[in-house]
Amino acid sequence: MNVVMGEQAKFTSLLSLLILCWSMGLKAMETAEAHHLLMRSGFGATPQTVADLSALRYEEALSGLLAGMRTTTRTSPPEWVHQFPDQKHRQNSEEITAEKRKLINQQRQLKSLQLKSWWIREMMQTDSPLTERLVLFWHNHFTSSLRQVRWPELIYQQNKLFRKHLLGNYREFLESVTFDPAMVIYLDSQNNRAGKPNENYARELLELFTLGEGHYSEDDIKGAALALTGISINRRSGDVRILPRRHSRDEKHFFGQRGNFGPKEIINIILAQPRAAEHLVEKLWREFISPYPERSEVERLAALFRDGDYELRPLMKALFNSKSFRDPNNYGQLIKSPIEMVVGAVELFDLSVAPEVLVQAVRIMGQDILDPPSVKGWPGGKEWVNSQSLVERQKFLLQLVRGEWLPGEQMLVRKGLIDTQRRERQASLSLWDKQMAAGVISLEDLHYSFLGSYASKEGRAELQYADSRAAEAWLNEIAFQLK
């Protein structure tokens, strides 16, 4: 009898535990967790978006974010992106007059500004901020630069390529990047030919894109470079292909294997190395979780990535579902990039700012979009903040809430490139002041929208202000913004 009662007690305890776990799964998110998810998966959070997401279960909210990812943009790019330019001047540059060269450079600079502005406009208007965050991540991973490629049309095509592969297969992504016209120009793949190999792309493929320093040898670089010989770009159409006469027929040695390898075989051998999955997981960790990857969790996620044949969607879901991502100790531990800061601030205050102005603002802060400083991209993290960038961040936020001219705005208006939206901002800020005076919006709400639980931990969430002008001291404190 006692045995039966003991078994019943065990069953009752187990049933209670299952009911508890089930009820926890149905429970809506805490406000702090909703804020955290929005900050890490987008550019910021407003009191309204936090309230909306808080009504959902975490798993439901995450599924919605991933299901809403886009492969196309919501806004239209400049018309010229589909019109490949006449490149005769590249072959006959000596025949170009100084006047003509100046005009060509001016047209290229204008196109560059238009392309950068288009992407920031997309960030501000998208219904999937996570899409843009990931496009930005891959732009900083598979780096190319407008300054060096010099064909804005090709940089746009690369941006489209990132969108296509965001949550697809990483193996296919690497193959597409290898033959991407902008990448071919940026890392000199078109100059890599049999008898005269160029190791630039092979080196960055191993060091930056897939494995990381210390996980390959110089011989591996040489073998990869030989396997990648013959890649050529048509200067008139932008098409990329392998020219057999330029491809090395020599036997290649790569990670202990020998054969007549081409690009596909090289990528397959790279992805057979356990380090390949770990390298990407570590970069994603630093982007979305914390500056310090946890070894055991990196290994777990990397194994899931490899076992799933390098599918990105399950990896991103597992990353956002991990205990480390949801750990409150990791809230507010990442420094926002300039782009995240300005787009998030404009969204938070619901102000009208021409994207061309934001292009200038983030450049001054150290993030010239579509023009990373080197093949390594932007270092990110604490590197975003130095004595100069901190002042510029502070200045931008103060000018924004004062309704003043923003960096470069007057110049762009004088040149006829934008219509000023300063008066619209002043009207919005006036309304904002009235809403605050009426109690519709509080500075505590806005403070929380910038820093979330971090503000509470630092004891600043109780600060109250009478109007937007009085908020300037608060903006002083958060000029480098955490997420």
Task: Classify residue 67 by burial, with Cβ atoms within 10 Å: 0-12, 13-18, 19+.
Answer: exposed
pLDDT attached to residue 44 = 84
Which mean pLDDT values do the consecutive 10-residue runs of the chain (483 residues) have?
49 43 58 91 87 93 96 96 62 67 87 97 97 98 96 96 97 98 96 95 98 97 97 88 94 96 97 98 97 97 98 98 95 90 86 91 96 96 87 84 79 79 68 56 52 40 41 49 71
pLDDT attached to residue 314 = 98
Cβ of 196: how many Cβ atoms within 10 Å?
A: 10
Amino acid letter, 233: I
Give the tens place of pLDDT for each residue, 394-426.
888 878 877 777 878 888 888 887 776 776 776
**What are the angstrom distances between the C-alpha of 157 and each of 134, 153, 239?**
16, 6, 11
Label each residue of the chain as H, E or C. Answer: CHHHHHHHHHHHHHHHHHHHHHHHHHCCCCHHHHHHHHHHHCCCCCHHHHHHHHCCCHHHHHHHHHHCCCCCCCCCCCHHHHCCCCCHHHHCHHHCCHHHHHHHHHHHHHHHHHHHHHHHHHHHHCCCHHHHHHHHHHHHHCCCCHHHHCCHHHHHHHHHHHHHHCCCEHHHHHHHHHCCHHHHHHCCHHHCECCECCCHHHHHHHHHHHCCCCCCCHHHHHHHHHHCCCEEECCCCCCEEECHHHCCCCCEEECCEEECCCHHHHHHHHHCCHHHHHHHHHHHHHHHCCCCCCHHHHHHHHHHHHHCCCEHHHHHHHHHHCHHHHCHHHCCCCECCHHHHHHHHHHHHCCCCCHHHHHHHHHHCCCCCCCCCCCCCCCCHHHHCCHHHHHHHHHHHHHHHHCCCCCCHHHHHHCCCCCCCHHHHHHHHHHHHHHHHCCCCCHHHHHHHHHCHHHHHCCCCCCCCCCCHHHHHHHHHCCCCEC
Give the tens place of pLDDT for each residue, 344-373.
888 887 888 999 999 999 999 999 999 999
pLDDT attached to residue 351 = 82
Q: How far is it, in rounded angstroms, from Cα 54 to Cα 69?
A: 20
Task: Classify residue 15 by burial, with Cβ atoms within 10 Å: 0-12, 13-18, 19+.
Answer: exposed
Cβ of 309: how many Cβ atoms within 10 Å?
A: 11
pLDDT attached to residue 389 = 87
pLDDT attached to residue 453 = 37
Who contacts 269 (Cβ-Cβ below 8 Å, separation ≥6)? 254, 255, 257, 261
Q: In 3D, which of 88, 89, 86 has the Cα closest to residue 97? A: 89
CB-based contacts of 430-434 (< 8 A; 24+ apart in sequence): 432/349, 432/350, 432/468, 433/467, 433/468
pTM: 0.86
Q: How far is it, in rounded angstroms, from Cα 82 to Cα 481?
A: 38
User: Both tokens of residue 52?
Assistant: 């909306």
